């Protein structure tokens, strides 16, 4: 489920492959060759990194930073 929407298994797996492929700058074919447990772990790491980055950007914005 993404943003309150439900997707079928095929669409969900394609989104996972696309996201991980973009995040790691690798071919989607490489993602298809990974075990699902590794894919889930890497997606969790990617999500955590994105959340940390968003928090840091929010901190800078609240401090009146003009970087963004």
For 16-56, how does the pLDDT look when each residue is reduced to its tens digit (9 = 90+)? 999 999 999 999 999 999 999 999 999 999 999 999 999 99
pLDDT at 66: 58
Residue 53 CA to residue 57 CA, distance in Å, equals 6
pLDDT at 6: 77
pLDDT band at 64 (very low <50, low <70, confident <90, very high): confident
pLDDT band at 1 (very low <50, low <70, confident <90, very high): very low
pLDDT at 67: 58
The answer to whether the CB of 16 falls within 8 A of the CB of 43 is yes
The answer to whether the CB of 44 falls within 8 A of the CB of 50 is no
Q: What is the dihedral of CA 46, 50, 51, 52, to 10 degrees?
A: 100
Residue 66 CA to residue 13 CA, distance in Å, equals 38
Q: Give the containing element (helix H, strand E) for 59.
A: helix 36-62
């Amino acid at each position: 489920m993404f943003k309150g929407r439900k997707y079928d298994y095929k669409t969900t797996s394609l989104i996972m492959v696309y996201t991980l492929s973009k995040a790691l700058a690798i071919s989607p074919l490489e993602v298809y060759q990974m075990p699902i447990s590794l894919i889930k772990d890497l997606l969790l790491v990617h999500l955590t990194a994105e959340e940390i980055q968003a928090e840091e950007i929010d901190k800078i914005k609240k401090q009146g930073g003009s970087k963004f």
